[in-house]
Amino acid sequence: MLKDKLIDQVFGSADLLITIDRSRCMRMRFDRNECPVCTSNCHSGAITIDDEIVIDADKCTLCMICVSECPADCFDIQGSDFFGMLARLRNMQNSVPWPVLGCHTEPGKDAHEKTACLGAFSDEHLIALHTFMDRPVQLNLTSCADCRNSFIIDTLKERIAGIREATGIDVSEKAVLIENMANLRFEAASYDRRGFFSAIKNMTFRRASGLFEKEEGEVIHAYSQKGVPLKRDILNTILRTITDKDRASRVLTEYAFTIKADASCDNCFSCVGMCPTGALRSMRKDSETGLLFNASMCNGCALCRDFCLNNSITLRQGYSGENYFAHEICNKDSCRTDSAGSWSCEDSVGAVCCYGQQRK
Residue 107 and residue 276: Cα distance in Å, rounded?
A: 38
Q: What is the dihedral of CA 298, 302, 308, 312, to 10 degrees?
A: 80
Residue 39 and residue 34: Cα distance in Å, rounded?
A: 11
Q: Which of 232, 224, 219, 222 is nearest to 79 (CA)?
A: 219
pLDDT along the chain (360 residues), means of 10: 36 60 91 93 95 93 96 91 92 88 79 92 97 95 93 97 97 96 87 49 42 46 76 96 93 96 91 93 79 95 94 93 91 59 35 32
Whole-structure pTM value? 0.81
Q: Which of 270, 244, 276 is nearest to 74 (CA)?
A: 276
In this prediction, residue 221 carries a pLDDT of: 54
In this prediction, residue 16 carries a pLDDT of: 47
β-strand 313-317 against 280-285: which pairing, if any?
unpaired
Cβ(291)–Cβ(331) under 8 Å?
A: yes
In this prediction, residue 178 carries a pLDDT of: 96
- Which distant-in-sequence residues (6+ apart) come within 8 Å of 38 by Cβ? 47, 49, 53, 66, 69, 70, 74, 75
> How many residues would you count in the chain?
360
- Would you give the end-to-end CA distance of the chain in angstroms? 63
Cβ(327)–Cβ(293) under 8 Å?
A: yes
List of domains in the chain: 2-16+79-202 (no CATH), 230-337 (3.30.70.20)
